[in-house]
Amino acid sequence: MTLLDDPDAIKVGWKAGPEQYPPTDLLEFAITAERVGFDFVEASDHFHPWSEAGQASFIWTWLGAVASRTTSIHIGTGVTCPILRYHPSIIAQASATVGALAPGRTYLGVGTGEALNEYAATGMWPEYDEREERLGEAIDLIRFLWTGDQVTFTGDYFETREAKLYTMSPHQIPLYVSSMVPESGYFAGCYGDGLITTGGKKPDVYKQLIKNFEEGARESDKDPETMPLMIELSGAYTDDTEGAIRCTLQYWAGAQVPAMFDQKIYTPEMSAMNGQVVGADFLKSKMCISGDPEEHVKWLKKYTDLGFTQLIFHSAGPDQKGMIERYARDVLPHVREERA
């Protein structure tokens, strides 16, 4: 069974933050997430962290470790950029290998990237329109290779010559496409098996985003009713509001600035400088910071009422393992009541 099965069921995932934690700590957290009942793990694929205080492990190595230490939880990227730092054939191979290690519980999330990772590692950062074109071509090539056939491909941006994957996933790998704004929703619907976006915006933004996604899906002869809608939600399950805000600002302030996703901001220092405009009041308006499980249930329900079916809980701290355990104990049972 993959995350594409039972699309009406609400699933809750935990966000692994390799931009903040060392890979060994993250591995133990992922094992904990499986033990206490989270449905899936979503992990960033970063070359640089958002701040100098952070980390940036190679996520494909980490996913292999998680696959070998778990048995039921689903794992995947949120998201990887298969257009500059990676050739799409490498991402096809990497995801197929994780699929072989974790059969039926792997997914691939892709997007157009950030200069923080792509420009820093390659010196290239095309305009958004080109990056979107590259992503569409990359997705096509990844899907061709996932068939197991020998692929000679000549595109506008990528080529292969008699390329073939010899280690295959025994199950279909769902491919989710990131869309941060309504304007890219149509593209995500055309190319993806599902949608990935982030929380904290006004409801009308999501309504338009989903509408555009559904139009793109129908245009590509897909049924949007069967396609998962995944959203990453930042919060903190704690009464220590000050500590939660401090951790978020220390490691993730740059991620809150929209310019990070299209401007040539490519070092953690530059990211942190841009993140200086983010304050406590802003974070409180975007996040659910509370030790009351009912507040979190209400917060998550706002997104399921909009149509989202896969919720990713991301917390910067201060107690990651304890948060995972408490959230599963106090919040997840109530979310699952909504599934019934």
Question: Catalytic residues, which ones?
Answer: 46, 114
Q: Are 246 and 20 in contact (CB under 8 A)?
A: no
Rounded Cα gap, residues 12 and 322, in angstroms = 17
Rounded Cα gap, residues 202 and 219, in angstroms = 26
Rounded Cα gap, residues 332 and 313, in angstroms = 11
How many C-beta atoms surround the C-beta of residue 279 within 10 A?
12
How many C-beta atoms surround the C-beta of residue 152 within 10 A?
10
Q: Are 213 and 223 in contact (CB under 8 A)?
A: no
Rounded Cα gap, residues 179 and 172, in angstroms = 22
Of 55, 51, 77, the C-alpha closest to 64 is 77
Rounded Cα gap, residues 266 and 310, in angstroms = 30
* Cα 102 off chain centre by: 18
* Cα 172 off chain centre by: 18
Give the bridge partners for 80, in sequence order: 110
Rounded Cα gap, residues 254 and 231, in angstroms = 19
